Chains A and B, each alone.
Chain A
């Protein structure tokens, strides 16, 4: 009797997760239905953003683009660095350094996003503008379109850099575990042929762990896509068609940043609020797609790893 009740209670608690996800879909669709019936498909493709009553019109395309550009740029910078770190920790670092070093790298992940934002605005931004953006702009600004425009520091580029820093611990620590899981006999086969450490890595470690490394990177992509606060604070917050990413040094907007930024101005029941919830729905779909792919790839490789919980 007691056993049955207990089992049912446990099953209910476990099913809660599923219920939440289903409810989330339902509520997001419900909350955004007004915008879909007004804008239809042009909510996805349009770029005007006008909240003035009577002339209301909403298109999410610039923010969808902004999300992919910032997340893509963050991946472009973050993935190679993460792979380097993972390689250092699994192949090169002396034993006594490995554990403390991985702790330090993972602490990067523990810093709350809003603190990244604060640090980004008041510290990092100046360095980026003066040491990276300005030189790039003065050298290539006239010839390369995505480096044009006077750098201000609060723009797509800075936001992407901070995003890259934020996804490095995720990607590097999972990749490190995946690389450690490569059997030593593989490395030995390459050493036997006279390979250097780097060649062993290319020849034995990477091919063996490729799908897991891709999964780790996609997990990083998922985080970059959903990241809100640091991006909101650093991306410069453009709206409407000017938010389309035209230059790295221009202000932009992502799906999550526009929701965070404009939420306070959207009153209950307004079309504006429905538009923001609609963007939330798009973000939901993108994020769930990315995460399902990443989980499938990573869990297959790391299933055997006991006690590893990724919070």
Chain B
């Protein structure tokens, strides 16, 4: 038991350190605010520079023509790169979306077991995997086996990158569908797979679309795996077993050339790419916000590759 006298004695050891502590608090708040500024400045700078340097290059020709001869002062186009990127996105989705959605269905509807947990865990690990390793793998698997760089090899690599994202979003949006929907379906004697594909997938539609857009935004900016797979080309698409071009790859190649016209083209390509990626991301947010009545903030953004 502490007596009143003891308490008086104890209180003598309390220091009036409040001014210093309040000062520390204010300094920390200032520093923390600076952290935010430090992170926002590069984003602003990147956007400004890409628009400033890339804007003047943009034209119909730039978007549709093939690249100019290396070193010529004539401005070429990035038509094949845009076409290649769109093709890669489409073809990869052809594999990534169905497999990913099915995988997500498995995790959500049949996945509360050991296999489900293992898949879920490695799915998350794969989502964070260095994409260059995935590119090397596609190279060994497809390019070396078939003897040529091709859009197919690129598709294989990019679909692996898409897969974990789609699996994860599918699982999570299916889990948000109320149990009553499932029960109602089963009570009517409808087969499980019909309930899942007709009722559940329809109710989880916006979540699925979000996942697909996230995945698309992600692979749209991927560069590293393309080096080993599609190789790059200055021509338009000429067959599934042939090399193609892609925007990020083109930006890289252009940035390494010592000519002003190439660098200008690089900025132009960067502007096109950043517009695609950012509009996808802002679109995702729009869908999400509408669905959740503005309460969002839980959504995520596709990481640039």
| Contact present for B105 and A10 (CB under 8 Å) | yes
Residues of B within 8 Å of A20, CB to CB, are 126, 160, 163
| C-alpha spacing A124/B48, complex, angstroms | 13
Contact B277 A256 (CB under 8 A): no
Given known contacts A113-B304, A196-B25, A311-B300, A88 and B127 CB-to-CB distance under 8 angstroms: no
A172–B13 Cα distance when bound, in Å, is 39
Question: Is A228 touching B299 in the complex (CB atoms < 8 A)?
Answer: no
B267 contacts A256, C-beta separation under 8 Å: no
In the complex, B84 has a CB within 8 A of chain A:
no
In the bound complex, how far is the Cα of B304 from the Cα of A228, in angstroms?
Answer: 12
B138 to chain A, nearest CB (A): 9
The 0/1 profile, CB within 8 Å of A marked 1, for residues 128-141 of chain B is 11111110110011
Indicate if B57 sits at the interface (CB-CB under 8 A).
no
Are B141's CB and A23's CB within 8 A?
Answer: yes
- CB contact list, B208-240 vs A, under 8 A: 211, 214-215, 217-218, 220-224, 227-228
Inter-chain contact A85/B35, CB cutoff 8 Å: yes
List the B side residues contacting A307 at CB < 8 Å: 172-173, 176, 207, 298-299
Q: Which residues on the B side are within 8 Å of A28 (C-beta)?
A: 133, 136-137, 140
Residues on the A chain within 8 Å of B125, using CB: 21, 288, 291-292, 295
Interface range, A side: 35 or more
Known A-B contacts A108-B39, A116-B46, A119-B45; the reply to A226 vs B132 at CB < 8 A is: yes
Cβ of A41 to closest chain B Cβ, rounded Å: 22
Tell me the residues in window 35-67 of chain B with beta carbons closer than 8 Å to chain A beta carbons: 35-36, 38-40, 42-43, 45-46, 49-50, 53
The one of A198, A306, A311 in contact with B302, judged by C-beta atoms closer than 8 angstroms, is A311
Q: Complex formed: what's the CA distance from A118 to B211 in Å?
A: 28
Q: How far is the CA of A82 from the CA of B126 in the complex (A)?
A: 24
Question: Which B residues are CB-close (under 8 A) to A16?
Answer: 99, 103, 163
Residues of A within 8 A of B304 (CB): 109-113, 115-116
Q: Does B251 contact A (CB under 8 A)?
A: yes
Given A10-B103, A115-B46, does the pair A228, B224 have CB atoms closer than 8 Å? yes
Number of A-B contacts (CB under 8 A): 319
A15 and B118 CA atoms in complex are apart in Å by 9
Partner of B129, one of A98, A121, A287, A310: A287
Task: Determine if A150 is an interface residue (Cβ-Cβ < 8 Å).
Answer: no
Bound state CA distance, A170 and B127, in angstroms? 13
State whether the Cβ of B121 lies closer than 8 Å to any Cβ in chain A.
yes
A233 to B53, CA, bound (A): 19
Point out the residue from B192, B196, B224 that lies within 8 Å of A229, measured CB to CB.
B224
The CA of A84 and the CA of B37, in the complex, are separated in Å by: 11
Minimum C-beta distance from A29 to chain B (A): 10
Question: Do A226 and B133 form a contact, CB below 8 Å, given A11-B106, A113-B221, A305-B298?
Answer: yes
**Contact status B141-A309, CB under 8 Å:** no
Shortest beta-carbon distance from A161 to chain B in Å: 9
Complex Cα spacing A229 to B98, Å:
29
Complex Cα distance A268/B31, Å?
Answer: 53
Which of A111, A172, A197, A198 lies in contact with B274, CB distance below 8 A? A111
For A108, the closest partner residue in chain B by CB is B43
A229 touches B223 (CB 8 A): yes
A240 at interface, CB cutoff 8 A? no
| Residues A111 and B46 in contact in the complex (CB < 8 Å), given A14-B107, A170-B303, A309-B168 | yes
Contact of A17 with B by CB under 8 A: yes
In the assembled complex, how far is the CB of residue B213 from the closest CB belonging to chain A, in whole angstroms? 10
In the complex, what residues of A have CB within 8 A of residue B223's CB?
A: 112-114, 228-229
Which DSSP category, helix, strand, loop or mixed, fits chain A's interface? Answer: helix
B10 interface hit (Cβ, 8 Å): no
Q: Bound state CA distance, A295 and B122, in angstroms?
A: 9
Output the least CB separation between B104 and chain A (Å): 8
Q: What is the CB-to-nearest-CB distance from A59 to chain B, in angstroms, rounded to a whole number?
A: 19
Establish whether residues A309 and B214, one from each chain, have CB atoms under 8 Å apart when the complex forms.
yes
Contacts of A272 in B (CB 8 A): none
Q: Is B167 on the interface with A (CB-CB < 8 A)?
A: yes
Cα–Cα, bound, A199→B224 (Å) = 44
Contact partner of A104 (CB less than 8 A), chosen from B43, B121, B130, B277, is B43
Of the stretches B1-9, B71-79, B86-94, B108-116, the one at the interface is B108-116
Q: Does B243 contact A (CB under 8 A)?
A: no
| Chain-B contact segment, one of A129-137, A181-189, A217-225 | A217-225
Segment at the B interface, from A46-54, A204-212, A276-284 = A276-284
Contact B301 A84 (CB under 8 A): no
Pick 11 A–B contacts, CB within 8 A, sort by A.
A10-B110, A11-B106, A11-B110, A14-B102, A24-B137, A85-B32, A112-B221, A115-B221, A117-B252, A295-B128, A311-B215
In the A-B complex, the 7 residue pairs with the smallest Cβ-Cβ separation, listed nearest first, are: A226-B130, A112-B221, A84-B35, A13-B102, A6-B193, A112-B304, A10-B106
Q: Point out residues on A near B: beta carbons under 8 Å.
A: 2-3, 5-7, 9-18, 20-21, 23-24, 27-28, 30-31, 80-82, 84-85, 87-89, 92, 98-99, 101-119, 121-124, 165, 168-170, 172-173, 196-199, 219, 222-223, 225-229, 233, 256, 259-260, 263-264, 268, 276-277, 280, 283-284, 287-288, 291-292, 294-295, 299, 305-311
